[in-house]
């Protein structure tokens, strides 16, 4: 995934989400809306209603992010 992101970023310089390529890759999109990571998001975070809710459980948030391999 990281390699893909680097390649796509190099070619298109696009901020698009690498999981669904349908929206800008913002924390809000990935944590609340992205369908590309819906399975992992539900497994690690459950169903979230808002960003503060996600940020209230940093442990789960980091495991989710780590699962996506977006952490360096």
Residues that bind Zn ion (CB under 5 A): 17, 19-20, 34, 36
Burial class (CB in 10 A: 0-12, 13-18, 19+), 53: middle
Query: Which residues, 6 or more positions from 70, have their beta carbon under 8 angstroms from its beta carbon?
Result: 1, 2
Q: How far is the CB of 59 from Zn ion (least distance, A)?
A: 23
Q: How far is the CB of 39 from Zn ion (least distance, A)?
A: 13
Q: How far is the CB of 11 from Zn ion (least distance, A)?
A: 18
Judged by beta carbon, residue 17 or residue 48, the one nearer Zn ion is 17
């Amino acid at each position: 995934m990281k390699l893909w992101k680097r390649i796509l970023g190099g070619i298109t310089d696009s901020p698009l989400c690498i999981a669904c390529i349908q929206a800008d890759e913002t924390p809000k999109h990935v944590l609340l809306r992205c369908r590309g990571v819906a399975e992992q998001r539900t497994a690690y975070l459950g169903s979230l209603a808002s960003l503060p809710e996600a940020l209230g459980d940093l442990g789960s948030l980091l495991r989710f992010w780590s699962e996506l391999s977006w952490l360096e």
